[in-house]
């Protein structure tokens, strides 16, 4: 069962998977996250960077199977969103809101965010661990931690909380909802989009990731394994989208779809000829979408 006052286990796993990208072959490395492995509870993984030469030389033996597949997938997912953040920042954007920020370290990784403010919205327990781990590191952006319990706090109150932390609702704001929507009910997803629309002016980008319903339902072998794992740690999958229905769904909620790439499409674009880890199986049916507030 999920313990309300402990850091998110899925956030730990995602951060560690980004960090393990360093040990992939060069052709599969799309991002450099030197911080991800700091967040894992497993000492053996935290020690891996200290033995990089040995770990790199032996990675073909220990970085295998489903773990390798997810590490490659995270390279793709992270790079797609990184590119969108870079484009927003290069265009003059200075405000970034991360929903369920977890152990995302874009404020420390992306130099394009220099001079920007990153508002990290997440559970206080997860934020406490992040602040402890990253306290000695200087970020490129100003980081504002916005403690939020999504199970207790109504999202309608979030715009006021953001404003209290210095957010300007009239200035362009990019929001990232990465690895979050699949854990929400349909009602909570509606409230999420309504909230984002209320604190962002027209033209502001919203980057989301989502799963197709078949992955949430667990009707394939790999999907069923993942569904049982996330349920075991108390963070079960709840919602998915049919890609063909997404544009109309967004339009009814004041957003316009700019781009929607499946895992297979994004990996083929970013790792031409070299991305079997994300292009086979269920990860091909995850999606990375960019929308804009209208």
Do the beta carbons of residue 209 and residue 116 sit within 8 Å?
A: no
pLDDT at 273: 80
Per-residue pLDDT, 2: 47
Q: How far is CA 177 from the centre of its chain?
A: 7
Dihedral angle computed from the Cα positions of residues 137, 78, 111 and 48, in that order, rounded to the nearest 10 degrees: 40
Tell me whether residue 247 is in a domain: yes
Residue 199 located in a structural domain: yes
State how many domains the chain has: 1
Write the DSSP string, 218-265: T-SHHHHHHHHHHHHTT--------GGGHHHHHHTTTEEEEEEEEHHH
Tell me if 261 is assigned to some domain: yes
| pLDDT of res. 216 | 86
CATH of the domain at 266: 3.40.50.150
- Determine how many CB atoms are found less than 10 A away from the CB of residue 170: 8
* Within-domain flag for 208: yes
Domain assignment present for 57: no
| Torsion sign (Cα): 263, 186, 192, 223 | negative
276: tokens are: 């079997």
The pTM of this model reads 0.90
Question: Roughly how many angstroms between the first and final C-alpha of the chain, as a whole number?
Answer: 40
Look at residue 148 and tell me if it is in a domain: yes
Q: In this structure, is residue 44 part of a structural domain?
A: no
The answer to whether position 50 is within a domain reads no
The span from the CA of 165 to the CA of 147, in Å, is 11
Question: Domain containing 249: what range?
Answer: 79-293
List per-residue pLDDT tens for the chain, 294 residues long. 345 678 988 899 999 999 999 888 888 999 999 999 999 887 767 766 655 656 666 777 678 888 888 999 999 999 999 999 999 999 999 999 999 999 999 999 999 999 999 999 999 999 999 999 999 999 999 999 999 998 889 999 999 999 999 999 999 999 999 999 998 999 999 999 999 999 999 999 999 999 999 888 865 555 555 545 544 444 678 899 999 999 999 999 999 999 999 999 999 999 988 755 555 567 888 999 999 999
């Amino acid at each position: 069962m999920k313990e309300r006052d402990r850091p998110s286990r899925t956030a730990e796993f995602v951060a560690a998977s980004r960090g393990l990208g360093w040990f992939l072959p060069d052709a599969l490395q799309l991002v450099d996250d030197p911080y991800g492995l700091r967040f894992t509870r497993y000492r053996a993984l935290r020690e891996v960077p200290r033995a990089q030469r040995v770990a790199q030389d032996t990675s073909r033996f220990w970085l295998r199977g489903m773990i390798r597949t997810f590490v490659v997938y995270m390279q793709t997912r992270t790079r797609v969103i990184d590119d969108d953040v870079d484009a927003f920042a290069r265009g003059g954007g200075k405000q970034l809101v991360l929903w369920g920020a977890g152990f995302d370290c874009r404020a420390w990784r992306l130099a394009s965010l220099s001079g920007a403010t990153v508002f990290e919205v997440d559970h206080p327990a997860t934020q406490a661990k992040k602040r402890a781990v990253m306290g000695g590191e200087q970020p490129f952006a100003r980081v504002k931690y916005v403690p939020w319990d999504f199970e207790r706090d109504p999202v309608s109150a979030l715009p006021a909380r953001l404003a209290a932390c210095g957010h300007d609702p009239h200035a362009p704001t990019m929001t990232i909802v990465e690895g979050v929507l699949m854990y929400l009910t349909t009602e909570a997803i509606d409230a999420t989009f309504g909230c984002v629309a209320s604190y962002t002016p027209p033209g502001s980008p919203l980057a989301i990731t989502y799963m197709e319903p078949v992955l949430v339902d667990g009707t394939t072998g790999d999907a069923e394994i993942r569904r049982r794992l996330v349920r075991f740690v108390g963070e079960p999958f709840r919602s998915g989208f049919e890609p063909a229905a997404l544009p109309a769904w967004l339009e009814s909620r004041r957003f316009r779809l700019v781009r929607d790439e499946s895992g297979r499409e994004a990996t083929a674009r970013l790792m031409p000829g070299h991305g079997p880890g994300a292009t086979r199986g269920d990860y091909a049916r995850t999606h990375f979408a960019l929308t804009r507030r209208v």
